[in-house]
Amino acid sequence: MGKNIVVGQSGGPTAVINSSVAGVYSQAKKLGIDKVFGMVHGIEGFLEDKICDLDDYLATSTGVEMLKRTPSAFLGSCRFKMPKIEGNEEVYEKIFEVMEKHDIEYLFYCGGNDSMDTVKMLSDYAAAHGKSQRFVGVPKTIDNDLPITDHCPGYGSAAKYIATSLKEIIRDNSSFGAKKPTICIVEIMGRNAGWLTAAAALSKTVDCEGPDAIYLPERVFDMDKFVDKVKELAASKSSVVIAVSEGVKIADGRYVCEIGREVAVDAFGHKQMSGTAVKLAELIAEKTGYKTRAIEFSTLQRAATHIASLTDINEAFQVGADAVKAADEGKTAMMITLDRNGENPYQCGTSAHDIHDIANVERKVPDEWITPDGCGLTDDFERYARPLIMGELTPLYTDGLPAHLVRKES
């Protein structure tokens, strides 16, 4: 393969994004790469020549195993939007200057929609200016909304956490059997795609009835119908647990969480979501007088490595390794995709796909997987999602708590 490589992480972390870095590192070393650098805080840090030598952490098998069990983005993440190429050539030239300074020929970027756009633009700039460096995207997003790939590394572990937590909440909410119903609204991440909230359906097992209703952003949210649904449920049971996406919208296009207040936006223009469960709990309390409780999983959905899916960990490692293989074969402007090729037992391979078909495209939950009343998921969704949450990787413990690999700040 020759020359050095660099790998970076971008966007919201996942429970397994570090497994992808481990995969990149391990495969690069197998191919004889001398230096595997990590971007410190993604492409934003790379522009400032902030890198680290991964040999300092991963030269032993213990380091790699620790990294697989470490949440968040070990290298540090960012939410930096690359400017359009025209008129901003100096930004792109700076990236290539840093690559040339460290004899880096291959760049791997772990991330979601916006990160794949970065890979696309760097690839396009290289092609237009006759540069030899290669760029490959490594998929990562708990939102599971990248197109082409069957699913995204990070989703399985987040789904496992969500389904587990819903089971626990359902047991807790039903423990008192009060005459006056208790309504619990659980808010789950998902701005425009409801994959994470859909995972609440996986909590229905032989020992759990699952949530009473699930609301995804793929369907318009009707506040009046929601209140009627709660009343209907509360008429026959004392414990009602409802899963709702943070991104549900009413008919006029407003997010429920922004009704009556302003919300902040990030560097990409995305509205910062929070408060949907609180808003709906207040609505139910006002309209019905029922006891209500609002729970927001927030960061916990993407940080719970202690209950990560082994399937997810292994696939995250594999896409990292296969990104290096693809670059070694001369490929660039690609993202590694997961390709399901078997059920019973579940089997999944990988391939490299043109980044231009992926960047800035958002995949949503298929409408046919949502029940006609808009309050649940079909069996087809469960058949799709349940294999992704299977298996566990036992944490390594120190002082009674899971141990993590931590990068030293320079």
DSSP string, 65-117: HHHHT--S-TT-----PPPPSTT-HHHHHHHHHHHHHTTEEEEEEEESHHHHH
Cα dist from 332 to 121, 131, 203, 344, 380, whole Å: 12, 12, 40, 34, 35
Distance CA 290, CA 125 (A): 59
Residue 228 CB partners (closer than 8 Å, separation 6+): none
Q: Which of 399, 189, 170, 403 is nearest to 306 (CA)?
A: 403
Q: Is the peptide bond before 211 cis (omega within 30 degrees of 0)?
A: no
**What pairs with residue 108 in β-bridges?**
7, 136
Give the length of the chain. 410
Say whether 143 is catalytic: yes
Q: Which residue in the list 53, 114, 124, 143 is annotated as catalytic?
A: 143
Q: Which of 357, 331, 358, 337 is nearest to 349 (CA)?
A: 337
Cα dist from 320 to 108, 314, 315, whole Å: 8, 10, 9
Give the chain's end-to-end CA distance (angstroms, integer). Answer: 29
Distance CA 138, CA 20 (A): 8
Distance CA 272, CA 204 (A): 30
Q: Is 339 exposed, middle or buried (0-12, 13-18, 19+ CB in 10 A)?
A: middle
- Residues assigned a catalytic role: 143
